[in-house]
Amino acid sequence: MFGAAAVLTGWYIGFVIALVVITVVVILAGMILGLARRIAVQAEAITVSLDQGRLNTLPLWEVDKVNEELRLIVRNAEQARAVLGGGN
């Protein structure tokens, strides 16, 4: 009978070890899911901020168009001056 109790004791120790391992895995998985949730919230906030920054800087793309139009106006004015005999 003593031998059967020793065999069962091994099983009990195995069950306790398995329970501890499963508990640790569940805790770690919960921590990972919590961090993933925080990262998702922060990523959404970053996306909103980047979209707002893009909207705020869209008018800067028009500066190049304005500069090109001004260069064209100056070039045409210089040509008109030359045609009218106004010098350089």
**What confidence tens digit (pLDDT) does each residue in 18-64 have?**
999 999 999 999 999 999 999 999 999 999 999 999 999 988 888 98
CB 81 within 8 A of CB 87: yes
C-alpha torsion sign, points 78, 84, 86, 88: positive
Q: Taking the domains of the chain in order of start, what are their residue ranges?
A: 1-57, 60-88
Average pLDDT over every residue of 72-88: 86
Average pLDDT over every residue of 2-28: 88
DSSP secondary structure, 22-53, as one string: HHHHHHHHHHHHHHHHHHHHHHHHHHHHHHHH
Q: For the whole model, what pTM was predicted? A: 0.57
